[in-house]
């Protein structure tokens, strides 16, 4: 039997994004990482409910030379110490690179689904930006948009819009009982 997964964006979903001029950005270092309230407990509830937990994150600042892979991996390691994430999948490309992994393309979700024998139609993508939601839709997942009202393009189509990660967890856990 195929497994169910929750695909999670990283910055703005698990940890607090650094908002600059209305746009969310990743922390610049491990010391800037702030895990959002209730996230570690919520992720544990998803794990206890049997979900595979896969973080899928665009990290174009590596391609742009603004940060290093070591910093990205350090932030991932910090998060992994506090929550039972099964896998971190990163796209280090910039938009112009035309890769298949950069969200809104579904490459990272498809790779995670193949690695863990996940049924995408029974899985969820949780994100705080339009690219996250579109990647989930393109992969065939249910989508949950955490709306922080960033000053940027907003998703036009999603399954659920919520105000916090806790709200997203509640939707997923309720759906898992049906």
Per-residue pLDDT averaged across 113-135, rounded?
98
This model's pTM is above 0.75: yes
Per-residue pLDDT averaged across 90-102, rounded?
94
Gap between the Cα atoms of 32 and 18, Å rounded? 9
Coil, helix or strand at residue 121: helix
pLDDT beyond 90 at 139: yes
Residue 48 exposure: Cα atoms within 13 Å on the Cβ side: 9
What positions carry a catalytic annotation? 9, 11
Gap between the Cα atoms of 107 and 41, Å rounded? 28
> Hey, which residues does 18 pair with through a beta bridge?
25
Task: Give the residue extent of every domain in the chain.
Answer: 5-177
* Structure confidence at residue 178 (pLDDT): 66
Tokens of 25: 């950005």
155-176 confidence digits (pLDDT tens): 999 999 999 999 999 999 998 7
pLDDT band at 109 (very low <50, low <70, confident <90, very high): very high
Gap between the Cα atoms of 39 and 36, Å rounded? 6
Per-residue pLDDT averaged across 80-105, rounded?
96
Out of 3.10.129.10, 3.90.1150.10, 3.40.190.10, 3.40.50.1000, the CATH code matching 5-177 is 3.40.50.1000
């Amino acid at each position: 039997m195929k497994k169910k997964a929750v695909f999670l964006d990283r910055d703005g979903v698990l940890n607090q994004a650094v908002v600059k001029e209305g746009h969310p950005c990743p922390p610049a270092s491990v010391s800037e990482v702030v895990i959002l309230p209730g996230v570690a407990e919520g992720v544990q509830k998803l794990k206890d409910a049997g979900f595979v937990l896969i973080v899928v994150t665009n990290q174009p600042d590596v391609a742009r030379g603004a940060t290093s892979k070591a910093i990205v991996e350090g932030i991932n390691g910090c998060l992994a110490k506090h929550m039972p994430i099964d896998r971190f999948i990163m796209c280090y490309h910039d938009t112009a690179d035309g890769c298949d992994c950069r969200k809104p393309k579904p490459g990272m979700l498809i790779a995670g689904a193949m690695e863990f024998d996940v049924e995408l139609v029974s899985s969820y993508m949780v994100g705080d930006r339009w690219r996250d939601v579109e990647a989930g839709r393109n992969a065939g997942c249910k989508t949950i948009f955490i709306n922080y009202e960033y000053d940027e393009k907003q998703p036009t189509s999603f399954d659920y819009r919520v105000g916090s990660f806790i709200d997203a967890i509640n939707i997923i856990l309720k759906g898992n009982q049906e």
